[in-house]
Amino acid sequence: MGTTQLESVPEPKYWQLRTVLTEALDSEFSVGEILPNERDLAARFGVARATLRQALEQLELEGRLQRRRGVGTTVAPPRVGVAVGSAQHTWPGAADDAWQPTDCVLAPPPAAVADLLETGRDEPVHTVRRSRTTHIQPVATELLYVPRSSVPALPAIDTPSGAARARAVLRELQRLPLEGQDQSVELGSAGAEDARELDRLPGAPVLLVTTRFHTAGRTAAVSMATYRADTCRLTFGAFGGVEIHHDPQRHAS
């Protein structure tokens, strides 16, 4: 008598829960609707709150849910497609781009960036801060590193740090011939600052996009952008406008 478990545990409870909740979201809930609170949900499914939370975390990671401390858990809208690489490469700051410059300082970049720029590790570069929003939600922050050699005509550094100087640097960049750009995407977690700016908690999953801008055979600038992984689908090419309504948890054939 007394089997080890009712279900012989073929798979963990939080994973079963995730599946059940996914189906419930697909069939019984609509975007923006608020779910019952975690304590009630846990009781309803007969699991500890920690287990229920593990399932909710999965769903938030997949962009199906949005949780806010003090508020509640709501059904998230489909991810927005955010264009990060286009067929016709353009400099950051071009007329059509979606970024808002907020600040600019002259400082030594992180070592990894210095290596990409092939500048000395202690050599200060223009560091432009920008942010990007869709509708009203912040989706990304960026640090754009521009060596002084890329913008030699920039007026003396008497311009105070700030958005004005950021725009000046970007304007000077446009004058260079852009030969091409390389990009890479990887998973990261938001640091305290980025988290605040993206309206998330520290450690929230983000997509880190590194872009190298080339001119005359050398690297003219490097951008390191941090996108909210829960709400964004990064698009390359003409994929921008397309809506994809699939479950990010891949269901094999």
Partner DNA sequence: GAGTGGTCTAGACCACAGC
Partner DNA sequence: CTGTGGTCTAGACCACTCA
> Which residues form the interface with DNA (CB under 7 A)?
4, 9, 12-15, 35, 37-40, 46-51, 53-54, 56, 67-73, 201-203
Selected from 110, 121, 174, 175, the binder of a copy of itself by CB under 8 A is 110
Using the contact rule CB under 8 A, the part of the chain among 11-19, 41-49, 68-76, 150-158 near a copy of itself is: 11-19
What are the respective helix, strand and coil percentages of the chain, to the nearest 5? 25, 30, 40
| Cα–Cα distance for residue pair 190/229, rounded to 1 Å | 10
Residues 247 and 234: their CA atoms lie apart, in Å, by 16
Both tokens of 92, joined, read: 């950051």
User: Parallel, antiparallel, or unpaired: how do β-strands 125-134 and 80-85 relate?
Assistant: unpaired
At 165 the three-state DSSP class reads: helix
Q: Which is nearer to a copy of itself, 12 or 34 (CB)?
A: 12
Task: State yes or no: residue 77 binds a copy of itself (CB under 8 A).
Answer: no
Q: What DSSP character marks residue 53?
A: H
164 binds, among a copy of itself, DNA, none (CB under 5 to 8 A by kind): none
Q: Quick one: what does residue 189 bind among a copy of itself, DNA, none, with the CB cut-off 5 to 8 Å set by partner type?
A: a copy of itself
Residues of this chain, 232-251, that bind a copy of itself according to CB under 8 A: 232-239, 242, 244-246, 248-251
**DSSP bridge partners of 181:** 213
Dist. CA 15–CA 228, nearest whole Å? 24
Other CB atoms within a 10 A radius of the CB of residue 6 amount to 6
> Residues interacting with a copy of itself, by CB under 8 A?
11-12, 14-15, 18, 58, 61-63, 79, 81, 85, 87, 105, 107, 109-113, 115-116, 127, 129, 143, 180-194, 202-203, 205-208, 210, 212, 224, 226, 229-230, 232-239, 242, 244-246, 248-253
